[in-house]
Structure 1
Amino acid sequence: MAYPITRRRDIAPLLGPVLHFRGTGGGDWHASALYVLERGDEPPPALTVDGGPPAARPRHLARHRDRDFWIYDFSVPQDAGETRVGYGLAGGERHYVAVPGLSEPPRFAFASCNGAEDEGAFAQPGFRNARWAHLFGRHRTRPYHLLLHGGDQLYADAVWTDCPSLVAWRSLPARDRLTAPFTPSMAEQVEDFYVGLYLRLWRQPEIAALLASVPSVMMWDDHDIFDGWGSHPEDRLDSPVFRGVYGVARQCFSLFQVAMDPAVPAESCWGAGIGTFTQGFRMGGVGLLALDLRSERRPDRILSERSWSELPRWLDRLSGVRHLLLMSGVPLAFVNLNAVERLANALPGQMRLEDDLRDQWRSYAHEGEWLRLLRLLGDHAVRRRVRVTVLSGEVHLGYSAVIRGPGHQIWQLTSSGIAHPAPSRVYVEILERLARGVETIRDGLTIEMVPLPGSGRHFIRMRNWLEILFRDDGALAAQWHVEGETDRLVRIVPPPPRPEG
């Protein structure tokens, strides 16, 4: 069907555009633009791109009540140097995006934890999105090419209190809650909740401006579903209501954060064939692998054997890159909190703390998988002579660490939260004490929580986001942009090993 291009001046999206990165190929930079529009009898106008191929036609993704979700796939030819490209719906507002040159590594911004368990924490005017506003200001000065979201792009924990049918379910005796059905009324209210939350949050000016001007790669964590998903007891995870809420959250994540119909997955969603959202990209000498660590999570596992069998193949698809960025919502390198976790398990009424600790790669429940991943990444780094850097959020702190093994180093860069309020000083002081020295794990592996330059401290307590640039010598320069700080906090990750021969 040929869609007519209507040149209306009254186009007012309910949401969008939200740009999603789709990779590179054939000398082009590929992206998709998501729009949510009021339901209409005619398809929306085409999307035009400066200097690009003919106008992109819309694909209908979904409908929710009186809203239609449309996706536009488009490509921009890459020149020798950076270009600035305008795009927008015909007759509507124009937006601009920076595209890196063919031989240039992209400039990245990384953020996570865009919310809080209690939205009352954002009562002070201008507080909630202050770091987003700062990021957009930096983008306008020297634009970023990709925006990486490390998890918890929204905090959906209020689903249990904002949906009347779920409130009623929570009042049932514990045994009845495990067998109660997920009713059509629940499904309707839960879908309204998630869609409404995305629309309210992503329409906020500071966030909307970035989503429209920098292509995103998003990976989910627990709060995108609800607090602790995957780390709850098995009987609760398998109950009809928990599975039902998860199913709606998954549907909305696919729609908003990946901008795809699960039945027609994006080529960059490498995990679609096994039911996960793992995504992979290569941009010249830089590779990006965003791991889905929630879809298959259980109290005693993070990834299924299906994902473990695919992981070496996913890594090999990125062979030839010099630097691999691995997105893991939960950090691979952190202080050892096993003693705290065992204590929490022994005390009554500590379920939320237990869930948070069980989420960690370093939980005693996941130690085998953690070591398995470290060995796999280390072997890949040595065999392919590639530098591996892990990007994470989740812990509401900024820090860097290094995992050293036979013939390799794996660097950990952590940044969170861009919106979540800072943790308590007491919590951070406890972690500072635990972070001292070099910890020997096993098999020749060690972890060092590397002090921040010029401070002697290991952790950034205040809210932050991370800038990632590649230098001419191949080294990675990571700078935390910290609320209230004027000093530059920069970590240089060494360049990759020289190719053999």
Structure 2
Amino acid sequence: MPPSSPAEPALVLGPLLRHVDPVSATVWVETDRACEVDVLGRRARTFCVGGHHFALVLVEGLEPGSTTPYQVHLDGTPVWPPPESEFPPSRIRTPGRPVPFRLAFGSCRYASPRTVEDSEGIPPDALDLYASRVAALPEDEWPDALVLLGDQVYADELTTETKSWLHRRRHRRQADEMPDEQVADFEEYTRLYAESWADPQVRWLLSTIPSSMIFDDHEMIDDWNTSAAWRATITREPWWRGRITGGLVSYWVYQHLGNLSPQELAENKTWQAVRGLGEDSDDAEPLLREMARQADEDPASIRWSYVRHWGEARLIMIDSRAGRVLEESERRMVDDAEFEWIEAAMARAATDGVEHLILGTSLPWLLPHAIHNLERWNETLNVRHLGRWRGRLAETLRQASDLEHWAAFGRSFERLGAAVTDIARGARGRPPSTVLVLSGDVHHAYAAELVQPGDLASRVHQLTVSPLHNQAPHPIRVGFKIGWSRRARRFTERLARLAKATPSTLEWEKQAGPFFGNQIGELVLDGRSARFLLSVSEKGATRLEQVLDIPVSAA
């Protein structure tokens, strides 16, 4: 392949293989200028956002269960795969092959290992190592899907290299108006994605394995939407509007757009408006900033949650950040309309006879018992003593200790439990073999199984895997180990009773963990059987070590 001349367009990021169904796929790219992008003879013009150029190519007419190698051409010039690539050719593999379905998942990936200094003490990137492992396997052992459960970039934890870039970019006046050493607008977010997705290993993996993504707090700011008090404080900051709109615009462009199916793209008013701008020189940033402003001020104006159909498996990805209802007396993880959408999607999966119902949520539903009890205790105090000194103290503790998972939204925790147990009992149709809740966020891994109610026909598990590339400080390691202990559970149960927190009727038991280090999880689904595998990289490792392989189904 001849090298590109300066007059020829080039890839900046991608290709990313995103939504794949039995007959179609979407391929996302970022380019350095306006151009036409060609994948397997299907073409799309780039669109412009903030001076950056992107395209989403819809590849239709594929065969179910097929494997199709592909190249990317920009204005007719081949640019992918790179001629020096040591990886297998990128390919689109559609569902329908008579082999077990393999799903990889994880969360929390702080920057690329190329830009992280050794002094930070972070173990090797599990996603990098996983990509190298996959590339060496036969194709029929590759994962069929990759699920990334939040914090694909860190807007509030920057590498030394990016901090230096920000210092050079910003004027002194701007520095006084913006958060120190954090990104503040769309342009600065593009830097984070370039830093995270440009690794050769990860770039190849994302070009070949279909990916599904959802955000978490660090993609906007730590503690994003913890509470009404938190939001009242942050919205008074002069830089917040630019920060949240830049974050949501970048998420829509880099992640959310690829989560949508061809039908959803055709029905998405924002995407159709972007496409309707015409020439690539018409910048879509003002349109997307307005979308982001509305999404922040009125979460009901957009639904970030979505569904993936994988034959006998189905993923329902739940937004557990942007759509929260934060008033203390009405706290919800998602509003009632979105929860009805989630329940309806779960019911359809049961009606369709899905064998494995997978719920994705960046925040764990079933936590270590002591931490669950603390969050229920804290929420109860906040509601009961709102506006008084005890309430203010409880709010300070909530923000300082990150007490804002599903357990801290008690009504939503119980409502999700009711929906899950309905499916697992067979109240909505033939019960699936498993209901699996995949999560991240908490910088360790564990498996927990729902054991009460005791009349469930499906096995229900919480599978938590985090981080892909970060670390858990020693106090966090100690805290989560203690969180599963019986003594800590008894103590926090008494504390919750004293506050008159409503106890849950659900009961769960830890099956494995906690595990620490950088890590990636895998599900292997074969008929009604399902297994959960976990691989970890510790400091100094050159490859992943598998530390867990357990059944999570009865079959």
- Common fold: TM-score over 0.5: yes
Read off the aligned partner of 2:62 and give its amino acid letter: P
Please give the per-residue CA displacement for 1:303-346, whole angstroms capped at 9, x wherever unaligned: 11221222222223323211111101000111232448849988
**What is aligned with 1:72?**
57
Separation (CA, whole Å) in 1 of partners of 2:509 and 2:267 = 33
Read off the aligned partner of 1:489 and give its amino acid letter: L
**What is aligned with 2:449?**
402
**What is aligned with 2:520?**
465
Q: Is 1:216 the counterpart of 2:174 in the alignment?
A: no
Q: Is 1:62 the counterpart of 2:53 in the alignment?
A: no
For the residue of structure 2 that corresponds to 1:144, the secondary structure is coil
For the residue of structure 2 that corresponds to 1:307, the secondary structure is helix
Give the superposition deviation at 1:351.
5.6
Indicate if the aligned counterparts of 2:29 and 2:55 stay in contact, CA closer than 8 A.
yes
Q: Is 1:169 the counterpart of 2:228 in the alignment?
A: no
Indicate if the aligned counterparts of 2:124 and 2:518 stay in contact, CA closer than 8 A.
no
Q: Which fold has the larger relative contact order, with Cα–Cα distance below 8 Å and residues 6 or more apart in sequence?
A: 2
**What is aligned with 1:304?**
335
Indicate if the aligned counterparts of 2:155 and 2:220 stay in contact, CA closer than 8 A.
yes
Q: 1:114 to 1:76 in 2, by over 3 A?
A: farther
Which range moved further: 55-64 or 271-280? 271-280
Structure 2 length-normalised TM: 0.71
Read off the aligned partner of 2:59 and give its amino acid letter: F
Gapped regions of structure 1 (runs ≥ 5): 1-6, 49-54, 173-187, 453-457, 497-501
Read off the aligned partner of 2:534 and give its amino acid letter: W
Please give the per-residue CA displacement for 1:353-394, whole angstroms capped at 9, x wherever unaligned: 72652321122xx11211111111111222230221000000
Indicate if the aligned counterparts of 1:156 and 1:223 stay in contact, CA closer than 8 A.
yes
Separation (CA, whole Å) in 2 of partners of 1:347 and 1:121 = 38
Indicate if the aligned counterparts of 1:20 and 1:258 stay in contact, CA closer than 8 A.
no
Read off the aligned partner of 2:417 and give its amino acid letter: L
For the residue of structure 2 that corresponds to 1:33, the secondary structure is strand
How do 1:407-418 residues align onto structure 2 when only pairs under 5 Å count? 407-408=455-456, 409-418=459-468
Indicate if the aligned counterparts of 2:316 and 2:358 stay in contact, CA closer than 8 A.
yes
Read off the aligned partner of 1:101 and give its amino acid letter: G
Q: 1:38 to 1:491 in 2, by over 3 A?
A: same
Indicate if the aligned counterparts of 2:362 and 2:439 stay in contact, CA closer than 8 A.
yes
Q: 1:111 to 1:32 in 2, by over 3 A?
A: same
**What is aligned with 2:317?**
290
How do 1:255-404 residues align onto structure 2 when only pairs under 5 Å count? 255-259=253-257, 266=265, 274-299=301-326, 300-318=331-349, 319-320=351-352, 321-335=354-368, 336-337=370-371, 338-339=373-374, 342=378, 354=399, 357-363=402-408, 366-382=409-425, 383=427, 384=429, 385-386=431-432, 387-404=434-451
Give the superposition deviation at 1:212.
1.4
Separation (CA, whole Å) in 2 of partners of 1:294 and 1:416 = 17
> Alignment partner for residue 86 of structure 1, among 48, 70, 75?
70
Q: 1:132 to 1:125 in 2, by over 3 A?
A: farther
Separation (CA, whole Å) in 1 of partners of 2:460 and 2:235 = 36
For the residue of structure 2 that corresponds to 1:459, the secondary structure is strand
Read off the aligned partner of 1:448 and give its amino acid letter: E
- Alpha-carbon RMSD: 3.9
Read off the aligned partner of 2:313 and give its amino acid letter: V
Indicate if the aligned counterparts of 1:400 and 1:414 stay in contact, CA closer than 8 A.
yes
Give the superposition deviation at 1:431.
2.5
Provide the aligned length of Structure 1 versus Structure 2.
Answer: 450
Indicate if the aligned counterparts of 1:85 and 1:96 stay in contact, CA closer than 8 A.
yes
Separation (CA, whole Å) in 1 of partners of 2:123 and 2:255 = 21
Separation (CA, whole Å) in 1 of partners of 2:507 and 2:400 = 26
Separation (CA, whole Å) in 2 of partners of 1:121 and 1:367 = 38
Q: 1:355 to 1:71 in 2, by over 3 A?
A: farther
Which range moved further: 120-129 or 205-214? 120-129
Please give the per-residue CA displacement for 1:241-266, whole angstroms capped at 9, x wherever unaligned: 4344212211110100123699x953
Read off the aligned partner of 1:279 and give its amino acid letter: Y
For the residue of structure 1 that corresponds to 2:257, the secondary structure is coil
**What is aligned with 1:499?**
none
Aligned-residue identity in percent:
20
Give the superposition deviation at 1:402.
1.0
For the residue of structure 1 that corresponds to 2:256, the secondary structure is coil
Indicate if the aligned counterparts of 2:179 and 2:239 stay in contact, CA closer than 8 A.
no
How do 1:480-491 residues align onto structure 2 when only pairs under 5 Å count? 480-484=534-538, 486=545, 488-491=547-550
Determine which structure has the larger helix proportion and give its number: 2
Which range moved further: 427-436 or 277-286? 427-436
Separation (CA, whole Å) in 2 of partners of 1:369 and 1:446 = 16
Give the superposition deviation at 1:121.
6.3
Give the superposition deviation at 1:287.
0.6
Read off the aligned partner of 1:359 and give its amino acid letter: E
**What is aligned with 2:287?**
none
Indicate if the aligned counterparts of 1:228 and 1:356 stay in contact, CA closer than 8 A.
no
Separation (CA, whole Å) in 2 of partners of 1:196 and 1:275 = 26
Read off the aligned partner of 2:552 and give its amino acid letter: V
Q: 1:429 to 1:346 in 2, by over 3 A?
A: farther
Q: 1:256 to 1:213 in 2, by over 3 A?
A: same
Which range moved further: 152-161 or 301-310? 152-161
Please give the per-residue CA displacement for 1:135-157, whole angstroms capped at 9, x wherever unaligned: 11222113222111010001111
For the residue of structure 1 that corresponds to 2:420, the secondary structure is helix
**What is aligned with 2:29?**
35
